[in-house]
Structures are given as structure tokens and as C-alpha cells.
């Protein structure tokens, strides 16, 4: 029996392992991934086909070391599956490992979905074409760096569940030394990816070599921007007040760091809105759980008591009631009898029309 169970378990594991290499129609979510992902992201040519998409990657040809840079990827001409889902990679290599931009000195401040992943999944809503952008800090090391883009997606007629893959050639970016006293974001700072609905708490921005900071905001989809209040709370640390948002609204903001003749315009960042979190303490939650447990326990005990007595008839002791009824009947009976002087020892019953012996004066003088 054990050997059969072991064999079945091995077969199940093999089936699951082989199925992970085909396409995932619902996507696998944003994450940090090398291009091949160990085969699960369809890097194996036997599990994929070439996409018909046209992919363009665009950024500045020169970036200052450690400063914010925007990289834009445009994809068009895809033949998508019915859910219109596309997975997009931002890569610094296509060797199959160490592909993540951070492996080559880049730091992702924000991905197209508001996080910090190099792989994102987006839905095409406009003629099977998409344009997305990453905001990164350029590497500290100077020299020439390469950036690649790659995509994978399904297709409406895709009986083999293969992924369709497209990729670009490397885009060269020259990393040059940052000018002295150039204002920029502090290394390690990332944009918050979301706030709770209705929360107007300020965000904190950390900078380097910055005398003044300006921030402009707009709601996603709007073209007109508004200036946000900014206050320096410590050296190179700024508090930015952005208005609260509700529902699934995204707010976009742009930071402009200034010092002397330099104005460093950071690419637009965005922040989503999440539902309110559970408001309470762990102790309160435990006490509430205990109270619900006691309520359920009391209810079960009540049911047990009810079912244990159901169907058992209680025999009532009506002796007293019967004696009282008999006593009342006797009292009425003897009170209606009429004594007779002519017939001593006898009482006349006018109801029954008969003579009844008087128990207090029996005929013949007996008591």
C-alpha cells in the first residue's frame, strides 16, 4: 500500500513540474525575475514561440551617476489571449541569470504598477499596444551600461499553452560622473507604492545636495498639475503633503530638486490607494474570539440540555387535586340532603329522590 502511495506521489510531482513550464493564462503576478526564471517563465525555446510584437525601449543616452532616470517601453502589434494580459521584463542581461537591473548597479525606484519589480503584468486596453515606464537610479559606477526589454504573452488560439516571447537588443546608456553639488534623490529612497483610502499623511522624500524641493501632483489621467506643500523637517529630509485619495484612484507626483544653477526634474512617480486595514489590537481580537467561543459553547450546551429531555414525559402527581375535587363533591352532596323527623336516621336526597342513611345518626341508634 505504501509503495503505491509513493508511486502516485512521484507521478503527481512530475505532472506538476511539467505543467509549470507552459503558459500561465492568469499570469503569475509582479515580481523580481531573471528572464528565464528557471524555465517557468518560458525561456526554454521548446516551451515558447516568437511574438509578432514590435518592442521599443527608450531612455536618455547619458545619465549622471546615482540620479533618477526614466526608461520607457512601448509594445504594439501583439496577438493576445482573451484576457489581454502581457508580462514585461526590464533586464540588464539576457544570459539567463543576473538579469535583474540591480545586478548591474541600477536601483528601481518605481515600476509601472507602483512597486519596485523588474517584471510586471499589465492589461492592454488599446489596440493590443502598451506603453509603460520604470523610474530608476542610475548606477554609481561610471561607464556604459546596457538595458533590455522582453515580453511574454498568450494568444487566443493557443492549444499548446505556449508563451509568445519578444525581446529587444541592448540599449546603451552612458553613465557619467555627477556634477559637483548636483541635487538628487538619496540612494535607497523608493516611492511609496500606496496609501490607505482617505489618508492624507505626508510622504517623506530624502535628497542629496538639495537647497529647495518642489513637488507637483495630478490624478492619474489628468494633464493639469498642482503644486504640493513641502516642508523641510531635517537636513535633506522633506515632508510632502499630497491630498487624500479614495477608491482605486492613483495620484502622480513629480519632484524637482534644486541647488544653485541646477534643477533636477525627477520623472513622474505614482502612488495607489488601498482599502483601510483592520483597525484594532491583537489583544482585542483575541478577547473577541474568546467571547465568540463562549457564546458558541453556551449555545451547544443549551442544545444538549434540550435534546436530552426531549421525548421524556413527566408524570404529574395530581393526588391533591383529586382529593380536593372529591372533598368538594362530598360537601355539595351532604349539604343538599334533608333530615326528616318522621324518619329518624335517614336523609332525603331531593335530586336523586331517595333516602340516604345519616352517617351521624344511623337507624337503630348506631354511630
Q: What is the DSSP string of 39-88?
A: GTTS-SGGGEEE---EEEEE--SEEETT-EEEEEEEEES----TT-EEEE
Q: Which CATH superfamily is domain 179-273 in?
A: Immunoglobulins (2.60.40.10)
Which is more confident, 218 or 7? 218
User: Poorest-confidence range of 17-26, 102-111, 179-188?
Assistant: 17-26
Q: Do domains 23-178 and 179-273 have the same CATH topology?
A: yes
Q: What does the pLDDT read at residue 278? A: 58
Mean of pLDDT over the chain: 80
What is the pLDDT, as a whole number, of residue 59?
92
Paired sense of beta strands 163-167 and 48-50, if any: parallel
- Residues 231 and 247: their CA atoms lie apart, in Å, by 28
Domain 23-178 falls in which CATH fold?
Immunoglobulin-like (2.60.40)
Q: What was the pLDDT predicted at 294?
A: 80
- For residue 134, the SS3 value is strand
Across the range 295-320, mean pLDDT stands at: 67
Q: Where are the domains of the chain?
A: 23-178, 179-273, 338-367
CA distance 256 to 212: 8
At residue 45, the pLDDT reads 53
What is the per-residue pLDDT across 121-140, written as a single tens digit (0 to 9) for each? 998 877 778 899 999 999 99
Q: Distances in Å between the alpha carbon of 168 and those of 53, 113, 151, 336?
A: 11, 21, 9, 124
C-alpha pair distances (Å), 164 with each of 26, 77, 126, 147, 170: 15, 12, 19, 21, 20
Give the pLDDT of residue 19: 37
Better-predicted residue by pLDDT, 55 or 42: 55
The average pLDDT across 27-52 equals 66
Predicted pLDDT of residue 35: 73
Find the helix or strand (DSSP H, E) in which 319 lies.
helix 319-336
> What three-state secondary structure class fits 151?
strand
> So what's the pLDDT on residue 205?
96
Summarize pLDDT for 239-280 with one digit per residue, the tens: 999 999 988 889 999 999 999 889 999 999 999 888 876 556
Helix (H) or strand (E) segment spanning residue 130: strand 130-137
Instruction: DSSP letter for 38, please.
Output: G
Determine the 3-state secondary structure of 123 from DSSP.
Answer: strand
Q: Which three cell numbers stand for residue 24?
A: 500561465
More confident residue, 355 or 173: 173
pLDDT for position 137: 93
pLDDT confidence of residue 263 = 92
Whole-number pLDDT of residue 38? 39
Residue 271's SS3 state is strand
Q: Is the pLDDT of residue 229 over 80?
A: yes
Amino acid at each position: 500500500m505504501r509503495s503505491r502511495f509513493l508511486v502516485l506521489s512521484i507521478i503527481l510531482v512530475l505532472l506538476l513540474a511539467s505543467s509549470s513550464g507552459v503558459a500561465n493564462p492568469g499570469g503569475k503576478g509582479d515580481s523580481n525575475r531573471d528572464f528565464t526564471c528557471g524555465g517557468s517563465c518560458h525561456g526554454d525555446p521548446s516551451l515558447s514561440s516568437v511574438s509578432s510584437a514590435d518592442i521599443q525601449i527608450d531612455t536618455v543616452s547619458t545619465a549622471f551617476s546615482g540620479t533618477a532616470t526614466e526608461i520607457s517601453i512601448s509594445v504594439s502589434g501583439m496577438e493576445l489571449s482573451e484576457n489581454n494580459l502581457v508580462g514585461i521584463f526590464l533586464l540588464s542581461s539576457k544570459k539567463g541569470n543576473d538579469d535583474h537591473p540591480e545586478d548591474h548597479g541600477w536601483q528601481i525606484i518605481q515600476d509601472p504598477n507602483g512597486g519596485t519589480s523588474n517584471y510586471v503584468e499589465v492589461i492592454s486596453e488599446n489596440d493590443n499596444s502598451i506603453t509603460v515606464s520604470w523610474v530608476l537610479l542610475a548606477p554609481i559606477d561610471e561607464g556604459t551600461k546596457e538595458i533590455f526589454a522582453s515580453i511574454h504573452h498568450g494568444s487566443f488560439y493557443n492549444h499548446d499553452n505556449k508563451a509568445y516571447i519578444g525581446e529587444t537588443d541592448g540599449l546603451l546608456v552612458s553613465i557619467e560622473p555627477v556634477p559637483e553639488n548636483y541635487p538628487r534623490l538619496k540612494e535607497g529612497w523608493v516611492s511609496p507604492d500606496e496609501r490607505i483610502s482617505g489618508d492624507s499623511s505626508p510622504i517623506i522624500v530624502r535628497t542629496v545636495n538639495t537647497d529647495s524641493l518642489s513637488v507637483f501632483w495630478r490624478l492619474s489621467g489628468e494633464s493639469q498639475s498642482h503644486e504640493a506643500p513641502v516642508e523641510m523637517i531635517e537636513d535633506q529630509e522633506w515632508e510632502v503633503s499630497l491630498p487624500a485619495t479614495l477608491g482605486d484612484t492613483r495620484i502622480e507626483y513629480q519632484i524637482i530638486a534644486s541647488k544653485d544653477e541646477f534643477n533636477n526634474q525627477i520623472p513622474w512617480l505614482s502612488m495607489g490607494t488601498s482599502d483601510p486595514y483592520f483597525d484594532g489590537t491583537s489583544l482585542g481580537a483575541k478577547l473577541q474570539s474568546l467571547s465568540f467561543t463562549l457564546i458558541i459553547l453556551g449555545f451547544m450546551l443549551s442544545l444538549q440540555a434540550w435534546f436530552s429531555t426531549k421525548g421524556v414525559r413527566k408524570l404529574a402527581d395530581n393526588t391533591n387535586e383529586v382529593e380536593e375535587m372529591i372533598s368538594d363533591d362530598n360537601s355539595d352532596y351532604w349539604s343538599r340532603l334533608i333530615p326528616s323527623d318522621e324518619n329518624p336516621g335517614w336523609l332525603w336526597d331531593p335530586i336523586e329522590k331517595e333516602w340516604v342513611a345519616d352517617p351521624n345518626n344511623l337507624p337503630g341508634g348506631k354511630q
